[in-house]
Structure 1
Amino acid sequence: MITSHKSPATKLGKILPTAALALGLAFSAQAATATANPTLSQSKPVFLGDGGDYPFSSAVRVGDTLYMSGQIGFKDGKLVEGGIKAEAKQSLDNINGVLLQYGYQKSDLVKCMAMLTDMGDFDDFNEVYKAELSKPYPVRSAFGVADLAANASVEIECIAAK
């Protein structure tokens, strides 16, 4: 049996280049990860406005994105009369007011969620929605719900981004 005894220096000479290569790849991977998304920011949420007597903010801004609380058809402290069309229009007017208050506009809307207490009102809701917003429309979800605050027929919640 022939055995070869290599000196520790010979073994080290083979290990060091391999270790250096591995470390270089690790450093390169970390550098690539850090620079792959330079637009990623560490913005902290800024809570805006308040819900008056209710425990919520009217909006929260994170970076250039504005997340708004849901709006029902309230005007002057009470629900507007006239059913789904009047409530939907007032809800969207309220959303527009929040947008303008914080430096945004309807064209900055990217996502809306509509909650309807009667899905039979869906077509009437869409008629108002199309009249109040313009193409390209924000992405949207619509849900049928059992009840809404203040016996509202519709609540709309949106997200805007610049």
Structure 2
Amino acid sequence: MSITRYGADGGVGTGGQHLPFSSAVEAGGWLYVSGQTPMTDGEVVEGGIVEQSRLAIDNCVKIMTDAGYGLEDVVHVKVILTDARYFQSFNKVFKEYFGEHPPARICAVADLVVDVKVEVDVTCYKAP
């Protein structure tokens, strides 16, 4: 089995810092996308939970698409919200993306290392 690392050179985080991890890793038909926040080019995109949720998921989708996976291939999603009051709004956005192919999911409330409202990661599977 081979392992393919996407974005292994590392992305750019807040303040221009180099991120020392791959944006995704693929092995044996599985694609693990690193947690994505509502950032563009290393800068946080301000907005409410709806806007930030869409951008975090869009960032995951871009990485998945670049690796040859689609929303129908998502089997599990992990979500971290910084406030439990965001839960219902996040669910509405989540349904926009995954209503046709709902994956398994965990959603937790915790502080994040970046000043954002949400972080999302996905696990995909496609038979090799």
TM-score normalised to structure 1 length: 0.70
2:100 aligned partner: 135
Higher strand share: 2
Number of residue pairs the alignment of both structures matches: 119
Equivalent runs, 1:1-162 vs 2, <5 Å:
43-50=1-8, 51-52=10-11, 53-145=18-110, 147-162=111-126
Change (3 A) 1:63 1:105: same
Shift of 1:48: 1.8
One-letter amino acid of the structure 2 residue matched with residue 152 of structure 1 = V
Which structure has the larger Rg over C-alpha atoms?
Answer: 1
SS in 1 for 2:85: helix
Q: Which has the higher contact order (CA 8 A, sep 6+)?
A: 2
CA RMSD of aligned residues (A): 1.2
Percent identical residues: 36
Unaligned runs of 5+ in 2: 12-17
CA distance in 1, matches of 2:98, 2:62: 14
Higher helix share: 1
Shift of 1:76: 3.3
Contact 1:58–1:69 (8 Å) recurs in 2: yes
Unaligned runs of 5+ in 1: 1-42
